[in-house]
Amino acid sequence: MKYILGIESTAHTFGVAVLDWSSAPKGHDSGEPNILSNVKDSYTTKEGGMIPMDVRKHHKKVASKIYNKALSEAGINETRIKTIAFSNAPGLAPCLLEGMNFTKKIAERLDVPVVMVNHCVAHLEIGETIGAKDPVMLYTSGANTQVIAYESGKYRVFGETLDLGVGNFIDTIARYVNLGFPGGPKIQKLAEECKNKNELIELPYSIKGMDVAFSGLQTKLKNLIDKGISKENLLYSMQEVVFAMLVEATERALAHTGKKELLLGGGVACNSRLQEMCKIMCKERDVKFFCPDRNLLVDNAGMIGYLGLKMYKTGIFEKDLSKVDIAPRERTDEVEVLWK
Ligand code: ATP
Ligand code: FE2
């Protein structure tokens, strides 16, 4: 039996996954991915947000433990690993470097090639394991907010944020009201507890074509918080406005491309209100809705291994470790999609 290792370290999560070689058949055949283990440890903090160097220290500290846990959960010996896929782009440089160094160390020891995987594309590709064949993806995470779909050899970005990633925006507001990091789940809970849901507080709604922006909204929210407006009501209204913007951009992309599937990706997509609003829009447009299970929706190494294996089977891998590098700013539409 042969195995591939997936390693994720673009931002707050350090993860290692072991996948069976049959997990990702070459070409269009999407199989049940045989993800034998998908272990991670995410950096969290009560205050201060994500400081890249601190996150790097976190990754360094947990790396070996996570690696050993992934191997033991999969029940394999490392000598069976035939290649290692790691997310080399996009992300925070210190975090990416930690993941790359860890990858190279193992690759050297085992004398196996390395596959460099784009994290955003991995979010998209894992969708096929739940049946999404040609979706528009709404990718909403900490740093990323993009509406992406496949067209002539590449994943194209149809719409995106013009300033902050929606997760970072939500986390900033959460910090402003002392909720700690990550703030998304806590804001969701407070919004659910809002008692006067029919009294929406008026907030800036900023969408141009398929692009969105959050900085004006952020300033306005901070002002209102300073004025002492009810937190529950404000956070509820914030979710309604922000998610309506995202759903509108996504709906435009669906109309523009004529595609009939919507796939969610990224940590913010864990939000049940966002999922609900997407489902309503899909029903109205007769579009199929796909949302991976939480462990494959948030940052994880399983999706990196899954796409890495498809790339490997297409011949995209690197044996010369001196040519393996990170690409912190690589964009989704720069990746040549040769494995489709
Ligand atoms: P990236 O993929 O951009 O590197 P990331 O490292 O921030 O992103 P994810 O795990 O995809 O990774 O997403 C984390 C974000 O998801 C955080 O901003 C967090 O607040 C947000 N989030 C998680 N759960 C929820 C929720 N229920 N509602 C809203 N936001 C949420
Ligand atoms: Fe992500």
Residues 99 and 248 in one domain: no
At 327-336, the pLDDT tens digits run 999 999 999 9
pLDDT single digits (tens) 123-179: 999 999 899 999 999 999 998 999 999 999 999 999 999 999 999 999 999 999 998
Is residue 232 domain-shared with residue 276, that is, in the same domain? Answer: yes
Of ligand 1's atoms, which has the minimum distance to the CA of residue 142?
7
Take atom 9 of ligand 1 and give the residue whose Cα is closest: 267
Q: Which pLDDT value is given to residue 32?
A: 64
**% the chain with pLDDT above 70:** 96
pLDDT at 34: 86
Q: What ligand is nearest to the CA atom of residue 44? A: 1
Q: What is the pLDDT of residues 87-136, one digit of tens each?
A: 999 999 999 999 999 999 999 999 999 999 999 999 999 999 899 999 99
Q: How confident is the model at residue 24 (pLDDT cuts 50, 70, 90)?
A: low
pLDDT at 30: 52
Tell me: do 152 and 219 sit in the same domain. Answer: yes
Q: Does 159 lie in the same domain as 277?
A: yes
User: What are residue 172's phi and psi, to 5 degrees?
Assistant: -65, -45
Measured between alpha carbons, how far is 49 from 140 in angstroms, rounded to an integer?
18
The residue contributing the CA closest to ligand 1 atom 5 is: 142
- Where do runs of H (alpha helix) occur along the chain? 52-74, 93-110, 119-125, 166-176, 184-192, 215-226, 231-257, 272-285, 294-297, 301-313
Average pLDDT of the residues in 24-36 = 64
Report the pLDDT value the prediction gives residue 28, as an integer from 0 to 100. Answer: 41
Atom of ligand 1 nearest to the CA of 90: 4
Domain identity same for 286 and 314: no
46 pLDDT above the threshold of 90: no
Residue 50 has pLDDT above 90, yes or no: no
- Residues 75 and 175 both lie in one domain: no
**Could you tell me the CATH number of the domain that includes residue 311?**
3.30.420.40
Q: How confident is the model at residue 282, as a pLDDT?
A: 98
The domain tally of the chain equals 2
Which ligand approaches the C-alpha of residue 9 most closely? 1
Contacts (Cβ under 8 Å, ≥6 apart) of 34: 19, 20, 22, 23
The stretch 269-284 carries a mean pLDDT of 98
Count of other CB atoms within 10 angstroms of residue 334: 13
More confident residue, 139 or 50: 139
In a domain? residue 339: no
- Decide if pLDDT at 48 tops 70: no
User: Ligand 1: which atom is nearest the Cα of residue 143?
Assistant: 3
Is 197:236 a contact under the CB 8 Å cutoff? yes
Contact between 288 and 133 (Cβ < 8 Å): no
Q: Indicate if 56 and 152 belong to the same structural domain.
A: no
Question: Looking at the CA of 179, which ligand is closest?
Answer: 1
- How far is ligand 2, taken at its centre, from the CA of residue 230, in Å? 32
* Ligand 1 atom with the shortest distance to the CA of 11: 6
| Parent domain of 173 | 133-293
Q: According to the model, what pLDDT value does residue 44 have? A: 82
Pocket test for ligand 1, best of 268, 304, 307 (most atoms within 8 A of CB): 268
Counting atoms of ligand 1 from 1, which one is nearest the CA of 181?
20
Distance 322 CA to ligand 2 centre (A): 26
Q: Which two tokens stand for residue 254?
A: 């669906």
**112 with 158, same domain?**
no
Q: Report the pLDDT value the prediction gives residue 31, as an integer from 0 to 100.
A: 56
Q: How many residues does the chain have?
A: 340
Of 260, 276, 293, the last residue of a domain is 293
49: left (phi over 0), alpha (psi -120 to 50) or beta: left
| Pocket lined around ligand 1, Cβ cut-off 6 Å | 10-13, 91, 119, 141-144, 165, 167, 170-171, 182-185, 188, 266-268, 270-271, 298-299
CA of 134 to the centre of ligand 2 (A): 20
**What pLDDT does residue 251 have?**
98
Residue 95 resides in a domain: yes
For residue 182, the model assigns a pLDDT of 83
Nearest CA to ligand 1 atom 13: 267
Ligand 2 midpoint to CA 192 (Å): 25
Inside any domain, residue 340:
no
Percentage of the chain modeled with pLDDT above 90: 88
User: Domain check: are 50 and 161 in the same one?
Assistant: no
CA of 185 to the centre of ligand 1 (A): 9
Residue 280 maps to a domain: yes
Shared-domain flag, residues 222 and 277: yes
pLDDT 10s digits, 291-330: 999 999 999 999 999 999 999 999 999 999 999 999 999 9
Distance in Å, CA 60 to ligand 2 centroid: 19
| Average of per-residue pLDDT values in the chain | 94
**188 and 141 together in one domain:** yes
178 and 263 belong to one structural domain: yes
Q: Does residue 176 belong to any structural domain of this protein?
A: yes
Mean pLDDT, range 238-252, rounded to an integer: 98
Average pLDDT of the segment spanning 255-280? 97
- Return d(Cα 307, Cα 127) in angstroms, integer: 11
What pLDDT does 187 receive? 97
In a domain, 48, yes or no: yes
> Using CA positions, which residue lies closest to atom 20 of ligand 1?
184
Q: Report the atom number in ligand 1 closest to the C-alpha of 272.
A: 27
Tokens standing for 329?
A: 């700013």
d(CA 17, CA 4): 8
